[in-house]
Amino acid sequence: MRHVFFTVPPAYDGASLKGFLRSFAGCSARLLAAAKREEGGLLRNGEPATARAVLRAGDVVRLAVEPAPCAVEPVELPLRVVWEDESVLVAEKPSGMVMYPRPGHERDSLANAVCALFVGRGEEPEYHPVYRLDRDTTGLVVLGRDAFAASRLAGRVEKEYRALCAGELSGMGTVDAPIGLLPGHSVQRCVRPQGERAVTHWRSLGVYAGYSLLSFSLETGRTHQIRVHMAHLGHPLLGDDMYGGSRALLPRQALHCARAAFSHPVTGQALAFSSPLPPDMAALVPGE
């Protein structure tokens, strides 16, 4: 059983324990209900407390979070951990690694690697990625170490992506175009009126001989969003043959999650991490 501790700030003096956990701590109704069922699941200053208990500024609240062990087979794989504490893990995903096992990748996913890391340390093998990266997309992945941390971080990680795109683009722009499945396909997407709204902001970082390095921030998180929007503009990612990109310079889509920033799910501390371009992309950018 994992335990999360909070110190009640002055603004919540007089609040109920339930109100504090649901509002300040961002605890879901499901996690709160599970803690209430657990003996010692809710403590105030080390003593059992009910959800109706009235809190005072400075009180220390302890919330029990039920373990959610991952059933994926632990497999020792190269894994670069950028940062971690008892609530969060930030890792680098290489090209070719899927997020979860699937046919053809039953034992080489990020889930296999993370579970092996924890099992090797004698810890519960939990796996809670806050967002997903495509198989050939590289860069930072933020994971919750437990269900509470993951739910608290969901939708709250600010990410910057970098990509090499066909054509010479300067300045900046925004693509606001709905994305849906390409008719007749189960994976490939396209811009289509019946799709879900998708908003991508881009900024040029450099223009080279026939291609450009762009920075992206997303307002929405649709599958393949950057890849689809850039193909829609006529500037597909290098190596992204699914969306019309040439593989002459790279054998995979040139997309990298270069920055991840968020508030810590327990302490509220502002955290930010960056990742340089991987070698295959950096080799195409003078000065990298």
Residues forming a β-bridge with 181: 189
Q: What is the pLDDT of residues 126-156, one digit of tens each?
A: 999 999 999 999 999 999 999 899 989 999 9
Residues 6+ apart with CB under 8 A from 108: 75, 77, 97, 98
Compute the distance between CA of residue 281 and CA of residue 258 in angstroms, rounded to an integer. Answer: 12
pTM over 0.75: yes
List the structure tokens of 101: 């096992």
Query: CATH 3.10.290.10 residue ranges in the chain?
Result: 2-65
Q: What is the pLDDT of residues 71-96, one digit of tens each?
A: 999 999 999 999 999 999 999 999 99
Q: Region 232-238: what's the mean pLDDT?
A: 98
Domain 159-256, second-level architecture: 2-Layer Sandwich (3.30)
Query: CATH 3.30.2350.10 residue ranges in the chain?
Result: 68-156, 159-256
Query: Catalytic residue numbers?
Result: 134
Fold (CATH) for 68-156: Pseudouridine synthase (3.30.2350)
Fold (CATH) for 2-65: 3.10.290
Rounded to 10 degrees, the C-alpha dihedral 28/32/34/36 comes to -170
